[in-house]
Amino acid sequence: MAGSTTNMSVRSFKHVAARVFHRVVELIARALFSIVYFGSKDKVSPINNMLLLESASSLAFKIRTQKVTSVEVVQSFIDRINETNPIINGVVDTRFSAALEEAKAADELIASGLKSETVLAKEKPFLGVPFTTKECLQSEGLCHCAGLYKRRCLKGTKDADAVAHMKRAGAILLAVTNVSELAMWWESHNYVHGRSRNSYDTSRIVGGSSGGEGTVLSAGASPIGIGSDIGGSIRMPAFFNGIFGHKPSKFIVSNEGQFPCPSDEEHSSFLGLGPMSRFASDLLPTLRVIADKNASKLKLDEKIDMKKIKVFYAEDDGGSFLISPVDPDIKASLRNVITYLEKAHGIKAQKVSLDLLRISGPIWLARMKSRGISRFAQELSNNEGNFKVGWELVKWLLCMSRHTLIALFTVIMEGLGEPYGSPKHQHLVEKSNQLEMQINDLLGNDGVFLYPTHPTPAPYHNEPLIKPFNFSYSAIFNIMGFPATAIPLGLGSEGLPIGIQAVGTYGNDHLTIAMAVELEKAFGGWVAPSVSV
């Protein structure tokens, strides 16, 4: 017994020592990055065109009622892309001429009077409204390489299902946006399109893999976007760029057309395609469109009484190993939300401690494991023979590799981790199932869990290499197939966006989106990166 206690004490000491060491490394790295990027901070220019400040839903109504033409709207966003993209590098391929032709056709349909405004609103709710999507979602005629150099010349031959649904709803595709290499990292950088930059501070990341989408929306260069999320790839870019993003319940939105796309049902359940927007009011109507027939599985038309929503929250994960502490600004914003909900709606939110959240990272990594050889290595080779990671590392050191360093590290980590089916792997899968049951029992069908989307505001470029596991705050909910909505809550002390996420149980997307709509009213939602004086 005494020996067991001693062993536990030794393990505890080693754990604390490792956490302290990692924190010191983080602080030193942050100091070095601040020196490297000193004086390089820049922002996008102020938004002067008032059309760019409208929600997609508002634009759709004004176009249908001929208060503004689709051509005017589309041209306004084209101009804004041309103005901001040299700074943020979010857009990587465009179809401006075709978009203007489609806008002209939309205006002609409306002017013809063949269909009433009511009919058009039902049949084509986004008629004449432009939108963008990340380039790893296939869009006919546009780049579809997912940041992989070997695929740099590939163009989409058809539209991904979600893109096609948006087009059938009358929306007009303007452009596709940048991603991380093979959409598997939380900084959007690759050797095909380069690095995307944050609209609030160009020395900071935009997140990934939907990072290009996040910064384009934040800059006011698109009214609505479609992202994908297997480990936080909608919610982290939404958080870093101060916009809203929703990862739907599993299997609600088709993954068809996403590259790379999971090959088995379990991993497909972790991936969710969803809407991203500067305005919470756009999330639900966009989700309804891209979910298509599956929208009937959700309660999107259910009227929400905020007073009847049960709210639970946690300020952090309880102290995960090798995870950054939650920034004080983020904790303060969460406390402000809890105070507001009680004063405005009489909701007495319950603070909870879910111990298994501390191993969110290991759980996600274990659940992403698959039988056989490294899937990521196969994808990096574009499924064309063996991928020699050692040789690629040598080439990277000689500035000859066409792969990002983090992609090479990912291959190594995938090979070094716990093998699929091993006792440790099975143990983590069991813990994953336990956590899912705990959250289901806690929330039921009328509860929402408020939790940090990410522990820190947007880091400097390349800084995620020092804190690679911070993505676990969002990734854990992909494993459970739960809906989760990223909600911006203004700017922190560094002038960067901060916010939280609202998580619900399966099929309760309407609750997390309702929370986003409510908190946008209370706290203002998106804040423009630059203000025109």
Q: Are 501 and 486 in contact (CB under 8 A)?
A: yes
Q: Which pair of structure tokens corresponds to residue 184?
A: 């598997």
Q: Of 481, 532, 530, which is closest to residue 509 (Cα–Cα)? A: 481
Q: Counting Cβ atoms within 10 Å, is residue 301 exposed (0-12), middle (13-18) or buried (19+)?
A: exposed
Give Dmax over CA atoms of the chain in angstroms. 86
Q: What tokens were used for 208?
A: 């990934």
Token digits of residue 152? 């740099």
Residue with tokens 């792969």: 403
Give 391: exposed, middle or buried? Use CB within 10 Å, 0-12, 13-18, 19+: exposed
Alpha carbon distance 181, 22 (integer Å): 26
Sheet holding 310-313, edge to edge: 91-94, 172-177, 130-134, 224-229, 272-277, 244-247, 484-491, 497-503, 447-452, 310-313, 350-351
Which residues on adjacent β-strands are paired with residue 204?
A: 460
Q: Where are the alpha helices (DSSP H) in 177-234?
A: 211-218
In the chain, % helix, strand, coil (3-state, to 5) comes to 50, 15, 40
Angle at 532 between CA 527 and CA 533, to 5 degrees: 125
CB count within 10 Å of CB 430 equals: 11
Task: Give catalytic residues, as residue numbers.
Answer: 134, 209, 233
Instruction: Find out whether 61 and 281 touch, Cβ atoms under 8 Å.
Output: no
The CA distance from 70 to 127, in Å, is: 8
* Alpha carbon distances (Å) from 214 to 4, 55, 241, 242, 308: 50, 15, 6, 8, 32
3-state secondary structure of 227: strand
DSSP class of residue 497 equals E
CB atoms within 10 A of CB 437: 11
The DSSP string of 314-342 is -SS-S--TT-PPPPHHHHHHHHHHHHHHH
Task: Specify whether the CB–CB gap between 276 and 238 falls below 8 A.
Answer: yes
Q: Minimal CA–CA distance to 255: which of 290, 298, 224?
A: 290
Q: Specify whether the CB–CB gap between 73 and 204 falls below 8 A.
A: no
Helices marked H in 2-95 = 2-36, 56-64, 70-88
Q: How many other CB atoms sit within 10 Å of the CB of residue 71?
A: 19
